[in-house]
Amino acid sequence: MLAPGGEVETRDAWSDLALESLRLYPDFVAELESASGILIDYRRSGAVDVAFDEGEWQSLRRRAEAQRPLGIPSICLSAADVLTRIPLFNREIAGALFYPEDAIVDPRDIMRALRTACCVRGVEIREGFRTRRIDGHGDSVEVEGECLTLHASVAVLAAGAWSSQIQVSVNGAHESRPQSFPVRGHLVGYQLEAGSLGPILRSGRTYVLQRSGGFTIAGTSSENVGFDRNLDERVIRDITARAGDLLPYLSQRSYTTAWNGFRPGIDAPAPEMRRLDGNNIWLAYGHYRNGILLAPVTANLISRQILSSSQHVGPHQN
Ligand SMILES: Cc1cc2nc3c(=O)[nH]c(=O)nc-3n(C[C@H](O)[C@H](O)[C@H](O)COP(=O)(O)OP(=O)(O)OC[C@H]3O[C@@H](n4cnc5c(N)ncnc54)[C@H](O)[C@@H]3O)c2cc1C
């Protein structure tokens, strides 16, 4: 989801980044498609937030009021309006909001297109290179892996939830920085008829969205279990129950797949996106629940800083 409507309530560093990145998305997708020749499933689908009782409805309306001055528009929908937008949704509601600017993108398409676009431009991608340590010395950087050390003019530490496992030093001194940590989340997928959902459907911490081909995703959970990749059947049952409650049609269907991932949590009020003082190491991690949304703004910010850096040397290194 590219959905500040469901996330942002007050103006802060997160909201500014999220809204800027949402604005950048159409051009980001167009540029990536053109550079890679790969079509990206990106749609400004909008999102419908439903309230099932008066208390939920009042809190949705308060949120919408707070969002308006931030530039997040929404409109009130009746039950009949919701049914028009989402014919599968046939529940009684206390009220609903439509967020026209929220969008959907398939992050796997983004990654495929990014990879191709990078390769076309001569970027060498080394998979399986596990970085242990990054050392900055003046205008050069050493990136130490398990059996190889790379020498570069610039390094960007962007290892998501794992970023704190990589040691960073500047001129031999250990650099302290905010800790990253994993916040596991499960998702559940259903194969439905293409076009049967339309906008994202949300209520509280449950949402359902559909990709163009009909693959429909219900989420999610938030678990502090470290880097444990095992699927948790209880969590999956909880998500399918909540999704079936939100959209009863789903309770008649079996999910086809379930998976989990690690949101990069951070011990700081916003993601780390900055240059370390006096050397050529940049940090770009801690995007928590919004790393897909924040991709273009992160790329812009970091690449502009690197390109305008007076210490940047040349294009020849790794
Ligand atoms: C269930 C769930 C739902 C989500 N929904 C949304 C959503 O709707 N919208 C949204 O915007 N975001 C969403 N997110 C969050 C989003 O997925 C993350 O914020 C985003 O993936 C972070 O990107 P990243 O590149 O910083 O980290 P990652 O995607 O985690 O990538 C980090 C990379 O670093 C590599 N790495 C780790 N250690 C090392 C090392 N030592 N050396 C070299 N490489 C290393 C890893 O292999 C990995 O490839 C969701 C996340 C989850 C789990």
Q: Is the CB of 95 under 6 A from ligand 1?
A: no
Q: Return mean pLDDT, the chain.
A: 95
Type of residue numbered 220: T
Distance CA 93, CA 253 (A): 23
Cβ of 150 below 6 Å from ligand 1? no
- Residue 168, token pair as written in the block: 């960073």
pLDDT in tens, 25-64: 999 999 999 999 999 999 999 999 999 999 999 999 999 9
State if residue 180 touches ligand 1 by the CB under 6 angstroms criterion: no
Ligand 1 centroid – CA 285 distance (Å): 9
Q: How many Å is the Cα radius of gyration of the chain? A: 21
Rounded distance from Cα 88 to ligand 1 centre (Å) = 32
Indicate which atom in ligand 1 lies nearest the CA of residue 289. 15
- Domains within the chain, CATH numbers bracketed: 126-179+267-288 (no CATH), 181-265 (3.30.9.10)
- When pLDDT is cut at 50, 70 and 90, the band that residue 316 belongs to is very low
CA of 224 to the centre of ligand 1 (A): 16
**Cα–Cα distance, 149 to 63 (Å, whole number):** 50
pTM: 0.95
Q: Is the pLDDT of residue 257 over 50?
A: yes
Calpha distance 245→206 (Å, rounded): 10
Q: What are phi and psi of 202, to 5 degrees?
A: -135, 150
Ligand 1 near 68 CB (within 6 A): no
The DSSP bridge partners found for residue 75 are: 98
Average pLDDT over every residue of 150-166: 97
195: which 2 tokens?
């076009």
Query: How far is residue 298's CA from residue 282's CA, in Å, rounded to a whole number?
Result: 11
d(CA 232, CA 76): 37
What pLDDT does residue 252 have?
Answer: 95
Q: Is 187 in the pocket of ligand 1 (CB under 6 A)?
A: yes
The reply to whether ligand 1 has any atom less than 6 angstroms from the CB of 286 is: no
Distance of CA 125 to the CA centre of its chain: 22
Phi/psi of residue 166, each to 5°? -95, 120
pLDDT at 90: 87
Does the beta carbon of 202 lie inside 6 Å of ligand 1?
no
